[in-house]
Chains A and B, each alone.
Chain A
Amino acid sequence: MRADGFSSAYGCDNFVFPFGRGGFRDRGIRSENPSIIARATAGANAVSAICCAIVHGVSADVIGIAATPLDSRLVDELAAIVGRDGIVSRPSELKVYECDGWTVEKNSPDLLVMPRTTEQVSAVLKALWRRGLPFVPRGAGTGLSGGALPVNAPVMICTSKMNHILAIDLANRRVEVESGVVNLHVTNAIKRDGFFYAPDPSSQQACTIGGNIAENSGGPHTLKYGVTTNHVMGLTLVLADGEVVELGGWAEERCGYDLVGAVVGAEGTAGIVTRAVLKIVREPEDHRTLLATFADVEAATRAVSAIIAAGIVPGAIEMMDQLIIRAVEDAFHAGLPADAGAVLIIELDGLVAGLDECAARVTEIARSAGASEVRLARDEAERAGLWKARKRAFGAVGRLAPNYATQDGVVPRTRLPDILRVIGAVSKKYHLAIGNVFHAGDGNIHPIILYDERKPEEVRAAVEAGREILAACVEMGGSLTGEHGIGVEKQGEMPLLFSPEDLIAMTELRRVFDPMERSNPNKVIPRPGSCVEVAAPRRQVPI
């Protein structure tokens, strides 16, 4: 089977692509039919195929891992490590874990394990290692690219019971946490003392530090303060064979290679992170939060460019378009101008001394870009209201259509007007409503494509539309993902950005940590598809 897959790979006609171009890609662990690995797909993109072939070349030894059926002895052994209450094996209960926030593809694990300590994680991974079983790490399952979807990984390891903040050290500006700690809980624990943890994904009430590390997550305020990788100083990592390694630490400089930097953003393919030392930031002296109203998104994006060009570095610049504004207003009555074409939430922070001056400049810039109104949040309550509206936008969208898929492209900031035009055209072409709520200051777009899963042609159209937008991002000199990761969702697009050589180097890097590719297999780097069934998509978890 392996040899087959390999040689046919070089023939470039046997690739099953993530659906879209090459039809729906089947994944999952349930197939016992090896021939599926070498299933032919019509219309496979040649570049992708060659690329896969070469990467496949380096990884020919691991492609052939077939899931060994789980035996009850394994379940007993794992239960002895984590306790019976740390194991879920009933299919009905496992269904909860069949997907993350990327709901288009689904596949339940055969077994879920919830360890409580690093030692337990290590013991569990050793047991799996002896049997040659791959696994998939999972935090809160809010990922949007299918990172926590089991693909040829029968066992899921969830960090939900590793949720303790271990140390708060304000003098050193460090917090040490277990990886299952929820993002917002970190800031909540230090807020009183005037500190915060800067990366603030909109899902921060639910997502975990481990998930943030895996995806190198961002958020509105990472425009000024940097994303997860800029705030992770040290890690405890359990490798696929169970070895526990400490990387980085409390100091700013690294000793030897920057392995922490390599693990952050590795999407769970380097092993399981069990602990992290995070850098925390002093709360700025004060904020000014502005809501600028525009007739259309063009004008709003012009304002974004002009603010950046003026040498102003706001804490955040977020944009919402008409569809999103209406949805948020209908759902939460947040006080947004319901008839606006677009709004920007612009937050300035820093010393009180400079803020009013800066706010006045931003107001002027926004006005000359065409803002009909620029409103300053008068107090903390109003400010909190604006942010609540922004962070609940995804939830509000849930009311507009049975389903939606969130994309995560990036363009150079000056190309925002162009990409928004493309999104408009794509929306028309596929007859799908697309809303935009995104991190405008970074050029990080989040088109939200609305569809109805009960209509297969709409599902297909939604996926196609997403791909078309991403391809346009790349064409404009941008990227496939600014913060959600490649996961399974965008694997097929990787060759748009990276050459076979690049992908080989990346594969080599991953194998430094995980030579057998047992930790979260079949993610990030495109490779020949395997196995079965794409379930109908369903509603996305609103947060």
Chain B
Amino acid sequence: MRAPYAHEERAARIVAEPADAREVAELVRACETDGISLAAMGAARTLGEIRKTPVALGVSLNRMRRVIAYEPADMTVTVEGGVSVDELNRTMEPSGQRLPVDPQRPDLTCIGSLIAASHAGPLRLSEGTSRDLLIGIRYAGRGGKIVHGGGRVVKNVAGYDLMKVLGSSFGTLGIIVEATFKVRPVPEHYAMALARYDDAERTFEAARALNDLPLAHLEVLSPAAAESCGFDGKYVLLAGLSGSRSEVASQYAAAARMAPGARLIEKEDARAAYACLRDFDFLSQSLAARAAVAPAELASAMLAADAEFVAHAGSGVAELFLNRMPADVRATVARWREIARGRRGHLRVIHCDPEVRPSIELFDLPNSGAMGLMRRLKTAFDPAGIFNPGCFVGEI
């Protein structure tokens, strides 16, 4: 037990650092008995954002960073919840493999929060998210019981899919102590095609054409986003090209046909540009939100929102942000939310000023039928209401 570090203060009042799953389970049991709220945390970035008030006990998985089993030939890896995405990928690098989920700052993102907060980055277009790669899970749930779902093989339908249930549950159902993923080969080559445009419409138009290629990622950046990633000025389109040398060359040729003037960025430059893009810091903006809409309607959503953005064009997901606080934050969020809903989607605020946090619903509300089931799920998995209570959808 220790006092929270400065960056954890918004997340938890006091922090425990259990050494293993058994200790996590004991903490859960103790909290349940005494009705104490608790939440798992990695770098406490997301938890700090979503909490209105800190939980009583933060469970840091900092000491649970073991890679339990890595089987390169089977392309699976089992790790404890506290391992960071970076650490994990370094372990696998000598075998030419990786977990191709690229959250912002993979060095700070631990596996538990990768899953629970479903962090993902540009590569979601080609590789999916942790949802698509998670094949087994172990968590400390109600009553301090360690429960596991799935397994260690890449294809498995035995039993109910607890991976999906714990994924994107934002710590409200239990504490993820272990996860198994299927992993992928690191592509031989990676490069980027970059095109600049004067207006958003033309940028998205080019993105639409490029989306027919099997790209690693396809991003559209508004001027402020482009600038802070080091690409000057206007709207920028960044298409990730990966594969063998000839595949990259052929993709680039096609990209240059569809987006005349597209420039090829290679090697170190490409990797640096990609890292910049992936690590774009929304949390240092004044207000930031993630919209997910029907993919073809992302362009019109961005045009309507009147905000800066990083748009994952093929996936229909985008981060919107403002680097100056709007006069009426609630009204801005409400407007953005309407824009997303009008395009068969929804919007989640990922960052706002701590002062306005209590007056803002960070999570969009699902329809009432779905919400009813979600409340039932929460009650079934957390009858005592101790797991990160009060800040997820519908104040769950």
A512 partner residues in chain B, CB cutoff 8 A: 373, 376-377, 380
B residues 137-163 near A (Cβ < 8 Å) are 141, 145-149, 151-163
Tell me whether A502 is interfacial, beta carbon within 8 Å: yes
* B208 contact set on A, CB distance < 8 A: 171
Determine chain B's interface SS by DSSP, over half rule.
mixed
The residue on A at minimum CB distance from B347 is A255
B222 within 8 A of A: no
- Check: B131 CB closer than 8 A to any chain A CB: yes
CA gap between A432 and B188 in the complex, in Å: 47
Are B243 and A258 within 8 A (Cβ)?
no
Q: A436 near B: Cβ within 8 Å?
A: no
Closest beta carbon of chain B to A343's beta carbon, Å? 21
A403 — which chain B residues lie within 8 A by C-beta?
A: none
**Docked pose: A274 CA to B150 CA in angstroms:** 26
| Minimum Cβ distance to chain B for residue A168 (Å) | 13
Q: Given A264-B161, A413-B73: A353 and B247 within 8 A (CB)?
A: yes
Q: Is the CB of B294 within 8 A of A282?
A: no
Contact B370 A484 (CB under 8 A): no
Query: Looking at A246, A252, A442, which has the most chain B CB atoms within 10 Å of its CB?
Result: A252
- In the complex, the chain B residue whose C-beta lies closest to that of A145 is B157
When the two chains form their complex, are residues A506 and B149 in contact, meaning their CB atoms are under 8 A apart?
A: yes
Q: Does A284 contact B (CB under 8 A)?
A: yes
Identity of the chain A residue whose Cβ is nearest the Cβ of B246 in the assembled complex:
A353
B-chain residues with CB within 8 Å of residue A486 when the two chains form the complex? 157-159
- For B394, the chain A residues whose CB sits under 8 A away are 256
Task: Kindly state the interface size class of chain B when it binds its partner.
Answer: 35 or more
Contact B369 A484 (CB under 8 A): no
* Residue from the set A216, A262, A352, A442 with the largest chain B CB neighbour count within 10 Å: A262
The residues of B that contact A444 with a CB separation of less than 8 Å are 155
- Any B CB within 8 A of the CB of A101: no
Pick from B191-199, B256-264, B271-279, B359-367 the stretch touching chain A: B359-367
Whether A524 is near chain B, meaning CB under 8 Å from some CB there, is: yes
Closest CB of chain B to A292's CB: distance in Å? 19
A410 is an interface residue with CB less than 8 A from chain B: yes
Interface assignment of A36: CB less than 8 Å from any CB of chain B? no
Q: Which residue of A has the minimal Cβ distance to B69?
A: A477
Asked whether, in the complex, the Cβ of B374 is within 8 Å of the Cβ of A259, the reply is yes
Asked if A479 contacts B162 (CB within 8 A), the reply is no
Q: For residue B389, which residues in chain A have a CB less than 8 angstroms away from its CB? A: none
Q: Which residues of B contact A490 (CB under 8 A)?
A: 158
Chain A residues with Cβ below 8 Å from B124 are: 252
A-side contacts of B328, CB under 8 Å:
none
Cβ of A430 under 8 Å from chain B: no
| Among B37-45, B48-56, B102-110, B165-173, the stretch in contact with A | B165-173
B24 to chain A, nearest CB (A): 14
User: CA of A353 to CA of B248 in the docked complex: distance in angstroms?
Assistant: 9
Judge whether B363 and A255 touch: CB under 8 Å.
yes
Pairs A–B under 8 Å by Cβ, sample size 16 = A172-B296, A216-B157, A249-B344, A251-B294, A253-B346, A256-B394, A261-B131, A313-B185, A412-B76, A414-B74, A443-B74, A483-B155, A497-B158, A502-B147, A506-B162, A509-B380
